Amino acid sequence: KSKDNQGYAPICLGLEDFYTRRLYLRIQDCFNRPIASAPDAWMDVVERHSNDNNKTLHCTQNTTRCLNLGSYNYLGFAAADEYCTPQVIESLKRYAPSTCSVRVDGGTTRLHAELEELVARFVGKPAAVIFGMGYVTNSAIIPVLIGKGGLIISDSLNHNSIVNGARGSGATVRVFQHNSPSHLEEVLREQIAEGQPRTHRPWKKIIVVVEGIYSMEGELCKLPEIITVCKKYKVYTYLDEAHSIGAIGKSGRGVCELLGVDTADVDIMMGTFTKSFGSCGGYIAASKEIIQYLKYTCPAHLYATSMSPPAVQQVISALKVILGEDGSNRGALKLARIRENSNFFRSELQKMGFEVLGDNDSPVMPIMLYNPAKIPAFSRECLKQNVAIVTVAFPATPLLLARARICISASHTREDLVKALEVISKVGDLVGIKYFPVEPEKL
């Protein structure tokens, strides 16, 4: 583990060298696969060939139609949509692909202002600000919220954009065991006394950072318990909802809605538009004062070209569908569908004897492979049978905790899921990754 105990990258250089240079070189075909269509339930994967044992891969003109179990297209908006697409095309004609300007100059269109209001209303906060990239939203905002003399207490499995934002802030970073409210309390108790007034503490500010759904684990945050600890010690909370906003909760409002947390108890709500909304960019939603402060001080707001207008329009249109403001009930149907699909797929995988991480309702489903040498066999065999699955390994996970990470979408039909299960089951037998015995009644 790295020095501040967050992130795996710098461990044991010898092994890192071996895996990145020797193994990954030979299994390059399992990563960076170019596609030639929208990343919908089915997609066209470009075929590649190599003359030097996979060291160099060349794209061919051929494509293979594959069932897509890898994209974060949770609600199926990353495809032509009867409501969104015409509006996005219209916005492209009116505003062009780029504003060619930063927000404070000519980079704020009517659409940017509309989306900020809509996001604030949707997530249940007084105000919001949007950015062109989700990663930058974390890495640029955290250093504006907190700096030297401050303390960030971060979940050990937080995303790299949070880790980099925390490191770049100059604040002291402490890590608590993944999703453990009791260890969070232990870490807090080492720093401050319960109920100690903020003005009497050795830290200028303390922020606890967590995620709604952990993207490599498929796990829901234990948010109610974490909020209880944060309130007890009077510290700020920062919640990254990249994978939960739009994907879970009765009306798609994320982990707060699903677990019955009042959004007033979360100080900073962060999310991205790259998953459930089929677009790109990110947002921060908070009090009017915080958002105004960010707009005046955050370099990514002041010095970066604003979010592309058609991408903004895509989020506005998708949000209107989710809110039922498009005049249909498609949003509600999509939300019901992703939940049903996720719970069906998870329970079927478990019945087959796979070790599946994560919680019910989460559309992210990692299947443990453990040994990284199982990555190529699993990935290639699935692809041969027209099922595209993402595999993740070191340095995104610890070295011996490689996994296949499945993302379920509302656009998958039951037929798609049954086909995927058949293929995964066969490949699972071949590769030897059914680690749990199957009980006879489950056969």
Does position 138 interact with ligand PMP (CB under 6 A)? The reply is yes
Does position 362 interact with ligand PMP (CB under 6 A)? The reply is no
**Between residues 211 and 257, which has the closer beta carbon with respect to ligand PMP?**
211
Name 438's bridge partners.
none
Residue selected from 215, 276, 313, 379 as contacting ligand PMP according to rule CB under 6 A? 215
Residue selected from 103, 112, 125, 159 as contacting ligand PMP according to rule CB under 6 A? 159
Three-state DSSP string of 394-426:
CCCCCCCCEEEEEECCCCCCHHHHHHHHHHHHH
- Choose the stretch contacting ligand PMP; rule: CB under 6 A; options: 38-46, 192-200, 238-246, 428-436: 238-246
Does position 274 interact with ligand PMP (CB under 6 A)? The reply is yes
Residues 6+ apart with CB under 8 A from 123: 241, 245, 253, 254, 263, 269, 271, 283, 285
Does position 135 interact with ligand PMP (CB under 6 A)? The reply is yes
Residue selected from 40, 81, 185, 211 as contacting ligand PMP according to rule CB under 6 A? 211
Tell me the per-residue interface mask from 91 to 130 with ligand PMP, x by CB under 6 A, - otherwise.
Answer: ----------------------------------------
- Choose the stretch contacting ligand PMP; rule: CB under 6 A; options: 58-66, 168-176, 235-243, 297-305: 235-243
Helix (DSSP H) and strand (DSSP E) numbers for the chain:
15, 15
Smallest distance from ligand PMP to CB 278, Å: 12
SS3 of 272, please? strand
Does position 161 interact with ligand PMP (CB under 6 A)? The reply is yes
H or E segment and range at residue 97? none
Does position 272 interact with ligand PMP (CB under 6 A)? The reply is yes
Smallest distance from ligand PMP to CB 242, Å: 3
Name 368's bridge partners.
403
Phi and psi, residue 225, nearest 5°: -70, -40
Residues in the chain: 443
User: Is 378 buried (19+), middle (13-18) or exposed (0-12) by CB count in 10 A?
Assistant: buried
Does position 321 interact with ligand PMP (CB under 6 A)? The reply is no
Alpha carbon of residue 420 to chain centroid: 22
| Binding positions for ligand PMP, rule: CB under 6 A | 133-135, 138, 159, 161, 211, 215, 240, 242-243, 272, 274, 282
